[in-house]
Structure formats: C-alpha cells, structure tokens
Amino acid sequence: MRGRWRCGVPKQKLVGRASLADNSFLINERGVASVAAAPNRVVHGLLWTISRTDEKALDRYEGVALGLYRKEVLQIKQKSGAAVDTLVYIASSSKPGIPRTGYMEKIKRTATEHGLPDDYIEELRSWLHTSKQNS
C-alpha cells in the first residue's frame, strides 16, 4: 500500500474512508497533491493510524523541514460519520500545477479501489486530463 511505501516502516493501519469538509483537492506547481480551503467543497481520502516513527519518516518524505509541506490537525469525518482530529500534510504552495507523470493515475486507482464517491473520482480524473494536455 502507498502508506507503507512512503513510511518504509509497516506500522501504519488503514482505518478507512474519510472526508475533509470545506477543502478541495489540488495539484500544486510542484506537481504534487494537497488540499486548499474551499467553502462547500469536500476532499475524500483514506484515514490511517501511524506510529511516531512513521510520522518522522513522513516528515522527511514530505519535506516538512524544507518547508515543502506543513502539518496541521484538521477535523475529518469518518465513513461512520464520527468526527476526529487528524494530522494532515498541506503543501506550502497552493498554486495549481500539472501532476507529475503517473501520479494521478495512482491516486485515481487507489480512490477507485477503496470506493470513494464516483463524483469525486471524476474530479480526480479531470486532473489526469490536465497532465495529458500539458505533456
């Protein structure tokens, strides 16, 4: 799974689907995913539990010390409807860009495999068209 690859330490556990209200998905100028405040929009994704070691590995991978991403605790809603404060990595740049080659295909495939809403998968698919038009 993607989380295991990023952390390199197989201690994470998939909790399930979740959503973040009043935010939108975006690919920034570096070609990587993030979220940005957007009233009446929703970002769907997967919620994981991670260890402190995993968090440190993610900090390195996401470039927190370099200022590429920052960490925030935001309230997400689990599939069950329960709200939970969750650590979210947010890119320092929210200027839209073009996805890196193969990047959106992985995100869309994971979203489909985990049953995220069809309209959201269509939104992700629109980023695929952006990368193909600009390649």
Domain formed by 2-125, architecture: Roll (3.10)
Question: Where do the DSSP E strands lie in the chain?
Answer: 13-27, 33-49, 69-78, 83-91
User: Does residue 49 have a pLDDT over 90?
Assistant: yes
Pick the closest to residue 54 from 87, 26, 78 (CA basis): 87
As a dihedral over the C-alpha atoms of residue 79, residue 15, residue 94, residue 6, rounded to 10 degrees, the angle is: -160
> What share of the chain in percent tops pLDDT 70?
87
pLDDT above 90 covers a percentage of the chain that reads 85
Question: pLDDT tens across 107-126, in order?
Answer: 999 999 999 999 999 999 99
Mean local confidence (pLDDT), 19-37: 97
Q: Mean pLDDT, the chain, as a whole number? A: 90
**Sheet with 69-78: strands ordered across:** 33-49, 13-27, 69-78, 83-91
Q: Is residue 74 scored above 70 in pLDDT?
A: yes
11 confidence band (pLDDT: 50, 70, 90): confident
Domain ranges of the chain: 2-125
Q: How many CB atoms lie within 10 A of CB 14?
A: 13
Residue 66 has pLDDT above 90, yes or no: yes
42: its two tokens: 């929703």
Q: How far apart are the C-alpha atoms of 100 and 109, rounded to whole Å?
A: 15
Alpha-carbon gap, residue 107 to 115, rounded angstroms: 12
